[in-house]
A and B are shown apart, each in its own frame.
Chain A
Amino acid sequence: MKALLAISRRIDTFSKWSGVIFSYLLIPLVLLVVFEVITRQFNRPTIWTFESVSFLYGAHFMLVAAYGLLTKSHVCIDLVSSRFSVKINAIFSLICYVLLFFPFIIVFTYYGIDYSYFSWLYLETSWSAWGPPLYYIKTVIPITAVMLLVQGISEVIKNIGILTGVKEVAE
């Protein structure tokens, strides 16, 4: 169990850093939107800003999803569960991870790999005048899925730790 918790801590550190790093995508996102507005005002619109903005936004919210899971930012309803003990909650949590989270994320991962694989196979590009490659941004989908999968494993380890009493509950 101790070894598992050590793995879980490593995963947490990884997810934390992924969130920290990908948060900086926000800076080019804002600057690019401002740039687009300015260039358009001077009647010099560029063909590439519109799609680049979407790419940055899409990559940002996906790639920080695992960080969100780590920091418990994803909305949940604790109206009922908050009335139970920490251990009962750990059991609830394990049930949900096994029945919902992992099936969903495994499907997400498997079909995500499939989806981006075909994009790479045909070296898919956008239909717009700029025509940027789409396989990079589509690869974000399986990467996000794998990161969520790994962070989910860490959450499960922590819950088992709480149940077996190995992990101290920080309140």
Chain B
Amino acid sequence: MSPELVAIAMFAALVVFLFMGHPLAFVLGGVGTFFGIVFIGPQFFGIFMDRIYGTMDNFVLVAITLFILMGNFLALSGIADNLFASLRLLLGPVRGGVGLAVVVVCIIFAACTGIIGASVVTMGLLAGPILIRYGYSRELTTGVIAAGGSLGMLIPPSIMLIMMADQASLSAGKLLMCGVVPGVTLGVLYMIYIAVRCGINPEVGPPVPPEELALVPMTKRITDTLRYAVPPVILIVCVLGAIFFGVATPTEAAGVGAFAAFIMALAYRKLTWENFKETLYQTSRTTTMVIIIIVGATCFTGVFLGLGGGKALVNAILGLGLGKWGTYILIMAIYIMLGCFIDWIGIVMITFPIFLPLAQALGFDPLWFTAMLAINLQMSFLTPPFGYALFYLAGIGLDGVKLPHIYRGVLPFMAMQIVGIAVCTIFPNVVLWLPNLMMGG
């Protein structure tokens, strides 16, 4: 069988079984096993065991476990709820103020968690009903939550960036730093949009009624906001600062961060033995989900590359003769399409072995290129008709919100993301400035 046919057959099998709803990890492993036995023979599986052990012995990936644990402890400490409660009163007098509060909470909360589903669902449950109660339009409500919640993938500590760094053999610390400026800039752009839109037309995002504001004095609003904003911000600044200044590896920073988040949950008096145990179990479930996919994917990509499928696809794409930037746009378009169907872990594991050699052949800076893929993936989850964030949001079942509201709601935010991608493409330094400043590496 020619490498081209193998590549097509493997992907076809992947798609068919994925849509049957089987766990991604085992679809990847199963398809790899089948093609491995038929076309390579059993000697492949010895290498596969080495790869599994390599995944278990990978110090960078330890950061994934620890960051997930940190995020779960922070979620437990209730900062998202309390910060939103105080911030929406603080920003309440402004038109669109509650929407602005959502984005701020998303930026801070995004930096704490790092799994997109988690932040979209949390923010949807937390802010969705409140926004609608204050008379925000359904479009703006869902757009803000979907766009804000997806920022978690980009703003470090992002699990996605760590995994991408591992797959692309880049420094995890540097790639994490690549996400900071684009992520925060997007957040600020969202806020400007909300402020301007609601400023012009308060119908879509009215201020909080003065009667309600009168109940809580200004000083209490400020102190409450500080009380719930300062500790997590300090934690994140310390974790990222330690990575940035080369004091600690991402893994060490994550470990200390997880411990600090535990202390924080304790300090906010949210920790009981029951929910401590539940936090550990939840962390186990998420961690094993993420990393077992890596195990399954090593089997798939090992066979795929071993049979020459990777080279065949790279040559096929190069053979299109689109040139450097034509190919870049093609890759970005493929990512947006894949984001409709598969979540980021699958996309990263399946496409990296093909796209990275391609980028190298075309002379792109691997760090910048990987960061661009991350920014793009974050957008692909908002892309109608199938973006993941949209489905998480529809699944929450907010009062009177239907899929078309969500589709219309995310469009302006997608437009801003496209602008963001264009800016980062034309001015690569937006992405690379911070990692280049980093000491050590």
- A residues at B contact (CB < 8 Å): 19-20, 22-24, 26-27, 29-34, 36-37, 50, 53-54, 57-62, 64-65, 67-69, 71, 73-82, 89, 92-93, 95-97, 99-101, 103-105, 107-108, 110-112, 114-115, 137-138, 140-141
Contact = CB atoms under 8 A, between A and B. Distances in A.
A100 B288 contact: no
A76 B23 contact: yes
B74 interface: no
B21 A77 contact: yes
Given A104-B299, A111-B45, A75 B24 contact: yes
Interface residues of B, number: 65
Interface of B: 17-27, 29-34, 37, 45-46, 48-49, 52-53, 55-59, 61-62, 65-66, 69, 248, 251-252, 254-256, 258-259, 262, 277, 280-281, 283-289, 291-293, 296, 299, 341-343, 345-346, 386, 391
A57 B285 contact: no
20 contacts: A22-B284, A23-B283, A32-B255, A33-B251, A37-B255, A53-B62, A54-B56, A54-B57, A54-B59, A57-B62, A60-B284, A61-B56, A68-B292, A89-B21, A100-B26, A100-B27, A100-B30, A104-B30, A107-B37, A112-B52
A71 B45 contact: no
B24 A77 contact: yes
Nearest to B59: A54
Contact of B25 (A74, A103, A111): A74
Contacts of B288: 61-62, 64-65, 67-68, 73-74
A22 B48 CA distance: 25
Given A23-B280, A33-B256, A37-B255, A73 B49 contact: no
Given A23-B280, A100-B30, A75 B49 contact: no
Contact of A69 (B23, B62, B252, B299): B23
Contacts of B59: 50, 53-54
A26 B65 contact: yes
Interface of B is mostly: helix
B24 A19 contact: no
A59 B62 CA distance: 11
B280 A24 contact: yes
Contacts of A115: 46, 49, 53
A37 B259 CA distance: 12
Contacts of A79: 19, 341, 386, 391
Contacts of A32: 255
B3 to A, nearest CB: 23
B22 A26 contact: no
B52 A30 contact: no
Contacts of B341: 77, 79
CB-based closest 5 A-B pairs: A100-B30, A33-B255, A58-B56, A81-B21, A74-B23
Given A57-B61, A57-B65, A104-B32, A138 B293 contact: no
A13 B56 CA distance: 26
